Amino acid sequence: MATLNQLERVTETIWELPLSFKAGMRVPARIYGTEKIIRAMDETVYDQISNVACLPGITQYAFCMPDGHFGYGFPIGGVAAMDVDNGGVISPGGIGFDINCGMRLIKTHLSYKEVKPHLKTLVDRLFKQIPAGVGSSGLLKVSRSEFRQVCQQGARWCVQQGLGWEEDLERTEEGGLIGGADPAKISERAIDRGLNQLGTLGSGNHYLEIQVIHPENIYDPALARFFGLDLPEQVVIMFHCGSRGFGHQVATDYLQRFLKVMTSKYGLEVRDRELACAPFHSPEGQDYFAAMKCALNMSFANRQVILHRVREVFSEVLGRSAEDLGMHMIYDVAHNTAKLEPHQVNGKQRTLLVHRKGATRAFGPGRPELPELYRQVGQPVIIGGSMETGSYLLIGTPDGAQTFFSTAHGSGRTMSRRKARKQWQGEALLSQLEERGIYIRSVSKRGVAEEAGGAYKDIDEVVTATDLAGLSKPVVRFIPIGNIKG
């Protein structure tokens, strides 16, 4: 790889593209990963992250996490902090189309032995109660005015409707509600697309998974105990989804608007049209920020409704209340966002707009943004793997300040969906996984082939890289036993 020869190795897990790599770079670009990850990384990632390094107002570095791979504008796994008081921009390509795509983790008091006889029934019922796939509609119907309330109130709206517990909000990033969302800044087309999608998974790499903790996969027993994840062969539930078509339309609307004004009105030039942007404090930038927050809140609400359905299904199948089953949330984390945050830069505190595209916020202990419940230990971080491999709960660390407290969000793809379909057959893969004790329900066998474990990076290698770099620390690894997919 030509680019590999131009990378400067800073540490065991930090690799840098210097300012000389590409004309117009305002800051160096740093890529995190073990040598194995770096050597296997797609050449387009280096091109995209160096383009990000050219954006106005970018601070310190453009970052790419170990799960980085080709995306729209930013690579997936890209992080950029913009100084909003010194010409910093906001870019939809740095957030993603599935705004606030994120992970939610729920623990139970159940053991694998208790769940195994009911596993297929649980998965089948979940598949029925939580619609998946492209264009899927949820079972919860809301009016347009109610949907606008969801855009402003997020998961809190759901809890007020009896679709969750008050404690769920404390265990959700931003309390399940980010302020400043303005439904007047979203299009009717966006509302049309999102109106019926509350409580749905969507397609692609979105999933809901029943998982088990084996004793050998507890890496920090004290923290596992703190989270209540120390029972023998304990069962947990994890799911991954976002704002669906609503977020996609919000991003599409503002990308088109930014392209019209970026150069003509603000004189901004970017190396890739997919990085269309506007000054954060411009009318267009502020309108997008308010609209994007609507999608953030809708996504928190979407995951809250799904959690409610999960509790209903487990309660019905196992004949016990969700409270008796111990179905408490661990946390809900987002990984397609842009947020204003205070950070130390060269010894001075500055307000930065941190874009995290396929990257997870990972605050260390003591940050006031964290709920009191977790402030002493740091932010829980949920990194999802493929349906074959497993997933992780990690914790943010003080050393995470080097990336504005950002870490990986998942395994990261190694091949296109088309290539995966050529290499694997969905039906054969389903049979193989069931033989291994993993029962899967999917809308299409084609989708199963696209999500084969071999199409993704090694989740263990990704987590090792984040650990070695000091970005996040592994606590527990989860093994899949049941999965529903779009």
Q: Is 136 annotated as a binding residue?
A: no
The reply to whether 29 falls in a domain is: yes
Q: Would you say 29 and 50 are in contact if contact means Cβ atoms under 8 Å apart?
A: yes
How many domains does the chain contain in total? Answer: 1
Q: d(Cα 76, Cα 54) in Å, to the nearest integer? A: 17
What is the per-residue pLDDT across 406-420, written as a single tens digit (0 to 9) for each? 999 998 888 888 888
Residue 192 neighbours by CB under 8 Å, 6+ apart: none
- Alpha helix ranges (H) inside 341-473: 372-375, 417-423, 426-435, 445-450, 459-469
Average of pLDDT values for 423-435?
87
Q: Is 410 annotated as a binding residue?
A: yes
What is the per-residue pLDDT across 210-266, written as a single tens digit (0 to 9) for each? 999 999 999 999 999 999 999 999 999 999 999 999 999 999 999 999 999 999 999
The reply to whether 156 falls in a domain is: no
Q: What pTM does this model have? A: 0.96
The reply to whether 33 falls in a domain is: yes
Residues in the chain: 486
Q: For position 2, what pLDDT does the model report?
A: 54
Q: Mean pLDDT score of the chain, rounded to an integer?
A: 95
**DSSP element (H, E) containing 66:** strand 58-69
Of residues 210, 3, 29, the one with CA closest to residue 123: 210
Average of pLDDT values for 425-431?
87
The reply to whether 343 falls in a domain is: yes
Q: What is the DSSP string of 178-245?
A: -TT--GGGS-HHHHHHHTT-TT---STT-EEEEEE--GGGBS-HHHHHHHT--STTEEEEEEEE--HH
Which structural domain range is residue 46 located in?
3-93+339-359
The reply to whether 230 falls in a domain is: no
Q: Would you say 359 and 406 are in contact if contact means Cβ atoms under 8 Å apart?
A: yes
Residue 217 neighbours by CB under 8 Å, 6+ apart: 390, 476, 477, 478, 479
Give the β-pairing of 58-69 and 29-32.
parallel
Q: Is 445 annotated as a binding residue?
A: no
Q: How far is CA 325 from CA 114, 128, 332, in A?
A: 11, 21, 20
Q: Is 422 annotated as a binding residue?
A: no
Q: d(Cα 293, Cα 25) in Å, to the nearest integer? A: 29
The reply to whether 326 falls in a domain is: no
User: Residue 409: helix, strand or coil by DSSP?
Assistant: coil
The reply to whether 269 falls in a domain is: no
Q: Is 412 annotated as a binding residue?
A: yes
User: Residue 270: helix, strand or coil by DSSP?
Assistant: coil
User: What is the identity of the amino acid at 212?
Assistant: V
The reply to whether 228 falls in a domain is: no
**Number of Cβ within a 10 Å radius of residue 145:** 8
Which residues are the active-site residues? 409
Q: Among the listed ranges 41-45, 143-147, 301-305, which one has the minimum average pLDDT value?
A: 41-45
Q: For position 124, what pLDDT does the model report?
A: 97
Q: Is 145 annotated as a binding residue?
A: no
Q: For position 1, what pLDDT does the model report?
A: 47
Tokens of 218: 């507890």
Number of H helices, E strands in the chain: 16, 19
Q: Is 348 annotated as a binding residue?
A: no
